[in-house]
Amino acid sequence: MSIIETRNITKTYVEGDVETNVLRGVSFSVEPGEFVAIMGPSGSGKSTLLHILGFLDHHTGGTYQFKGKTIDDYTSEELSHVRNKSMGFVFQAFNLLARSTVLENVKLPLLYSDEPESRWDELATRAIESVGLSHRINYDVSQLSGGEKQRVAIARALVNNPELIFADEPTGNLDSKSGEAVIEILQHLSEQKGHTIILITHETHTAEHARRIIRIMDGQVASDEPVAHQRKPGDGKLK
């Protein structure tokens, strides 16, 4: 069963008498463990699509199923549980608490989980280790570089061991070296750990680290193709 299934998804924003059609019939599916890049220029609708896929917004028309269930099949409480347990989110702006430590930031999703508080430090520490930041665990995030902050954000997304991770322009605020390190972590999570990764980007060289690229143009799927020559971090060339 596909983890994500969309059929003719539309999204229209209405302000007064003005209607803006952001998504115009988007259809695709994603299998468990896939690393998929959704690519498009600014204003193409890719971030709106991510918000719908992450149950952060409602679509106007069409159907969206996550693990065989639509948003209407969940109560508000169940939706919150799905977002917390089954989905992880990584954003371009990091969205970290500036006056808190790395450990405190990574523990945040556990506040809304079913995990007993006695395990929070253990689970957060494990997630921090997985992104190579054990030596920064008690640092305030304000002391970290941009690349380190994004790795904290990935650890926070991982702490509940979600099946699906959404990464919205995760390299957008980073230099090339830091961006490469972040993409390497995402590739590892998909290829070695089995997480499904949905990467939102407008950069071709970033999208080519995925296994498949869905190109969105003017709110529609312009193409949906496997990556012929997947980029591998660290060597600067195609393999």
Whether 189 has a pLDDT exceeding 50, the answer reads yes
206 φ, ψ to 5°? -75, -45
Q: What is the pLDDT of residues 77-129, one digit of tens each?
A: 899 899 999 999 999 999 999 899 999 999 999 998 889 999 999 999 999 99
Average pLDDT over residues 143-163: 96
Residue 186: partners with Cβ closer than 8 Å, 6 or more residues away = 35, 154, 165, 167, 170, 197, 199, 209
Comparing 134-148, 153-167, 222-236, the range with the smallest average pLDDT is: 222-236
Unique residue bearing structure tokens 């089995």: 194
Question: What does the pLDDT read at residue 235?
Answer: 52
C-alpha to C-alpha distances, 188 to 20, 33, 165, nearest whole angstrom:
38, 11, 13
End-to-end Cα, the chain, rounded Å: 30
Domains and CATH numbers, the chain: 32-50+84-238 (3.40.50.300)
Question: What does the pLDDT read at residue 197?
Answer: 97
Question: What does the pLDDT read at residue 239?
Answer: 41
Average pLDDT over residues 27-44: 95
